[in-house]
Amino acid sequence: MPSHFSTIGIPVTSEQDFIDIGQRAARLAERHKVQNGAYYCWQDESGAALWLQLDENDQLIGINPHFHGQALFQVAILTPIKRPHDSPLDGAIRGWANGTAAAPDSGDFPFVFDLPNLALHPELHYPAQVTIRLAAFAHELTLYESAAAFANRPDPRLQLAAQAFIPTGLFTENDEPPAAQALFTGTISAWAQKQNGLTGRPFYWFAVETLGGSIDVVADPALVPQEPVVGGLLEGSFWLTGTLL
C-alpha cells in the first residue's frame, strides 16, 4: 500500500528504512534552527523533500515528507491545530480557501493543511491572509481521459462536479482534531513522471486546477495504471501539506 514516503519515491517499510533514509537526507540537508530544536530540509530537483525534526539534543524526533511545487493557493488562516501525538515541531493550520483577513470565516471552503516547518514562522498571527504552496499526496486516485469520460463514469461514489473540493478531514468523531485530508476532483493541466534524487525511484506529479485554485498532486506509481492525459480529469482522496511563502 502506498505511503506518504513512497508517494515521492522513497520506499519506507521498516523502522530501519526510516532511520537510514533520515541519515542519508541529513547529510545533504540544510539546517534551520528553531525554538525547541532544528529542522533539516532535504530537497531535490524533482520537488521531493524531507523535513527532518531534531530536538534540542540533536536527536531525531520525526520526518515529514513534502513536495515543493509551483502551485500557489490563497488562504485565510484561522487557527493552528495541535494533535495528541504531534512533536513540538509538527504543525497544522485550519483556514478558508480564498478567504480574506477582513472576512476570514468565509471563502470557497474550509480545510486543514499540515506544515512541515511551522516553527520557522513564530511571528505568524491569526487570522491572516497568506499565500501557500499546497501539495496533495494521493491516497486513492482515478484518472479520466476527458470531461465526458468523467461525466459517464460508472457508479460514482459521489455526484461531484468536474472541479470540486470536499474537506473530509474536518469530519471527525469523538472530538478528535481535524485532519489534513480532502477528496477533490480537478483538471490536469500538466503531468510528469519524476525521479527521486535520493533513491532513484519514480513518482508521478500532476498540476491540477480544482475548486479554489491550483494544487500540485503527487502519487505513487502503483496508483497510476494508465498514462495521464493533459486536459483529462483526476479524482481522489489526499493528504494536504503546504508551506508559507
Question: What digits encode the pLDDT tens for the residues 136-192?
Answer: 999 999 999 999 999 998 876 678 899 999 999 999 988 899 999 999 999 999 999
User: What pLDDT shows up at residue 154?
Assistant: 81
User: What pLDDT shows up at residue 153?
Assistant: 86
Give the chain's radius of gyration (CA, Å): 18
In three-state form (DSSP H/G/I as H, E/B as E, the rest C), the secondary structure along 16-67 is HHHHHHHHHHHHHCEEEEECCEEEEEEECCCCEEEEEEECCCCCEEEEEEEE
Q: What is the C-alpha separation between 183 and 194, in angstroms, rounded?
A: 24
User: What pLDDT shows up at residue 125?
Assistant: 93
User: What pLDDT shows up at residue 157?
Assistant: 67
Do residues 239 and 136 touch, judged by C-beta distance below 8 A? yes
Per-residue pLDDT of the chain (245 residues; tens, 9 = 90+): 789 999 999 999 999 999 999 999 999 999 999 999 999 999 999 999 999 999 999 999 999 999 999 999 999 999 999 999 999 999 999 999 999 988 888 999 999 999 999 999 999 999 999 999 999 999 999 999 999 999 998 876 678 899 999 999 999 988 899 999 999 999 999 999 999 999 999 999 999 999 999 999 999 999 999 999 999 999 999 999 999 99
Range 104-107, long-range pairs (CB < 8 A, 24+ positions): 104/76, 104/77, 104/78, 104/128, 104/129, 105/76, 105/78, 107/76, 107/212
Pairing of strands 128-144, 110-115: unpaired
Q: Which strand (E) or helix (H) includes residue 99?
A: none
